[in-house]
Chains A and B, each alone.
Chain A
Amino acid sequence: MNIPTNLKYTKTDEWFDPLSGKMGLSDYAQSQLSDIVFVEILVEVGDAIEAGKAIASVESVKAAAEAYASASGKVTAVNEGLANTPEILNKDPYGKGWMVQIEGGDAFDLMDAAAYQKYCEERAH
């Protein structure tokens, strides 16, 4: 399980990079979903989003899930590439698999890498 230490995490398995303002699904999330076949970003550049609001709809071969905003702010970019190559979300969830970028977000309520690791381990049982 890959959990980069420079990122913050939500209880719903999203990550947030306070430096870049980017967010996406964690490695744990993508492995739970398994082979992802469709990603639809639900927000547009310019939208004001609140933490917890759905930002993307994800479908895999056997499951469907929503990705929620890990922080609040204004959307400055969305990853258009995900529509064409949804499998990027499986291969590189923290890099090319980013979903939405915001400005003005903060990471007060989020878990750090260690706390998130513990959280993932608890759920494995």
Chain B
Amino acid sequence: MTDSSTLRQAQGDASLNAKIVEPTLFDLSSPGRVGVSFPDPDVPRAELPESLLRADLPLPELAEVDVVRHYMRLSQFNYSVDGGFYPLGSCTMKYNPKINEDTCRLPGFTATHPLQPIETVQGNLALMFTLQEWLKEISGFAAVTLQPAAGAHGELTGVLIMRAYHKARRDAKRVKMLIPDAAHGTNPASSAMSGLQVMQIPSDARGNVDLAALRSACDETVVGLMLTNPNTLGLFDEHIEEVVKIVHDCGGLMYGDGANLNALLGILRPADVGFDVMHFNLHKTFAVPHGGGGPGSGPVGVAAHLADFLPAPIVGIVEEGSDEEPPLFGFITPAKTIGRVKAFHGQFGALVRAFTYIAMHGPDGLREIAEYAVLNANYLLARLRKTYHVPYDRICMHEFVAEGKVEGSDVRALDIAKRLMDYDFHPPTNYFPHIVHEALMIEPTETENKDTLDRFADALIKIAEEAKAQPELLHDAPTKTPFGRMDEVKAARELVLCCWLPENYSDQ
């Protein structure tokens, strides 16, 4: 084991006295320890190109048991959906069915190479084609690409499609994307990445898009409107058809951010009310697990007039079937494609999970998801609105936003969130959307029972009482978790982004 004082020196002064709860892989490494081994080459030896070799490979050396124990211990520091309630607004932290973890791991799927001839992967292609068809049916769109790797990636794809559509019609004046003030940051970022200007549209007092502002913004320089509906306040736009009409009338297109689709499954098909393009978040609505930050999957659906612009390739039928023969599935390049948005075909492992999920729900099961997601959110809203101010006096959809403030106390959303951890709950999303002060965005999802919801509501109500009577409990929180509040200023000002510098680790 490397001398620990050298280790600490490399890590910077302030860590000198830090208590190390779990050493890093490099801390645990010891020269000569062997993990997994491989056989020696059994072929005549070819010379290595001496001038192109590296001198040293400073990777850690651990035995298999060391690795397993390290990651087991790390796992115990994590909160997870499998462990408890995770009411993060707009993330849809629903239960991740275990059968999906098995189906995506079938060797028939995992041991296929993306560039295999299509005749050898008809199972994969049939699955992808069917999933495209199912997503079309759920959303009402005419065509779907499964290629984008995440919601934001789907947004970029959709925005590029909108841009290409206007360009193809020689409509060069259109350079502006309208985005409501409640929108997720990926919306303006995706627009900027596509070379568009962003113009913010305010929300009105009931949480809808401000129609007057929208009308005055809509002109021949507008590419379209990026709308999340229900929006990040959890509210369904009461004028959705009017909004669509205003945008279409000025020649713009409607982009749907599908992050909140969980509220609409079997309730409304976005294409039916006039959306032209929309991304799905398979890792939200369709129970693909969040993985600690990813991978996601962001398929994009488009109306018929945009189908030619989809990224290449999409899965299609290249040879029709007959009574005896199934169709031959393959890849098709849309006529005016914007091009590919990543290598290969998309997050195939996520596609298998989503396919399994939809197959197990059917049309009735999907509608139940939306009904119970909305029921659960409204129940929590009913239980909490007397304790925490909810700025919009309306029925909510699958989530709602409350103000994380308590009258007669100086506690803020941050403190409430931290105190919730002491009650063994993951906090809701906080400080988003920006249009609500001290926002707490709560989305229970449909996979929680009433007891959990009641315990959560009870905890939040108790915390409000604590805020007045014993505010230090909130300010000091969390105290019951493995770790306490972090020094984020130190993390940003004294950047330590690697375990420690390779120079301090010598080849033994």
Contacts and interface: CB of A to CB of B under 8 A. Distances in A.
A124 interface: no
Contacts of A87: 493
Interface string B467-488: 0000000000000000000001
A72 B493 CA distance: 33
B336 to A, nearest CB: 36
A37 B487 CA distance: 14
Contacts of B493: 35, 37, 87
Interface in A20-45: 35, 37
A19 interface: no
B498 interface: no
Interface in B485-508: 488-489, 492-493
Interface string A76-94: 0000000000010000000
B110 to A, nearest CB: 41
Contacts of A62: 488
Contacts of A37: 489, 492-493
Q: Size band of the A side of the interface?
A: under 10
A61 interface: yes
A58 B489 CA distance: 15
Main SS at interface, chain B: helix
Contacts of B489: 35, 37, 61
Contacts of A61: 488-489, 492
Main SS at interface, chain A: loop
A61 B489 CA distance: 6
A37 B488 CA distance: 11
Contacts of B492: 35, 37, 61
B497 to A, nearest CB: 13
A100 B493 CA distance: 23
A37 B495 CA distance: 10
Contacts of B488: 61-62
A87 B494 CA distance: 12
A35 to B, nearest CB: 4
A62 B493 CA distance: 13
A76 to B, nearest CB: 30
B357 to A, nearest CB: 36
Nearest to B493: A37
A37 B489 CA distance: 8
Nearest to A35: B489
A35 B489 CA distance: 7
Nearest to A60: B492
A61 B492 CA distance: 7
Nearest to B431: A62
B241 to A, nearest CB: 36
B487 to A, nearest CB: 10
A91 B298 CA distance: 44
A32 to B, nearest CB: 14
A106 to B, nearest CB: 30
A79 B222 CA distance: 39
Nearest to A86: B493
A122 B65 CA distance: 62
A73 to B, nearest CB: 27
B418 to A, nearest CB: 15
B380 to A, nearest CB: 27
Nearest to A38: B492
A62 B488 CA distance: 9
Nearest to B492: A37
A37 B493 CA distance: 6
A22 B94 CA distance: 54
Nearest to B488: A61
B405 to A, nearest CB: 14
A118 B327 CA distance: 74
A37 B492 CA distance: 6
B427 to A, nearest CB: 16
Interface in B144-194: none
A15 B492 CA distance: 27
Interface in A94-116: none
Interface string B222-256: 00000000000000000000000000000000000
Nearest to A87: B493
A115 B156 CA distance: 44
Nearest to A85: B493
A37 B490 CA distance: 10
Contacts of A35: 489, 492-493
A121 B83 CA distance: 46
A64 B493 CA distance: 15
B134 to A, nearest CB: 40
Nearest to B489: A35
A62 B492 CA distance: 10
A40 B488 CA distance: 21
A89 to B, nearest CB: 12
Nearest to A59: B492
A79 B493 CA distance: 19
A61 B414 CA distance: 15
B501 to A, nearest CB: 20
Nearest to B495: A37
B403 to A, nearest CB: 15
B12 to A, nearest CB: 16
A65 to B, nearest CB: 13
A62 B489 CA distance: 10
Nearest to B491: A61
6 closest Cβ pairs, A-B complex: A37-B492, A35-B489, A61-B488, A61-B492, A61-B489, A37-B493
Interface of B: 488-489, 492-493
Given A35-B492, A61-B488, 7 more contacts: A35-B489, A35-B493, A37-B489, A37-B492, A37-B493, A61-B492, A62-B488
11 contacts: A35-B489, A35-B492, A35-B493, A37-B489, A37-B492, A37-B493, A61-B488, A61-B489, A61-B492, A62-B488, A87-B493
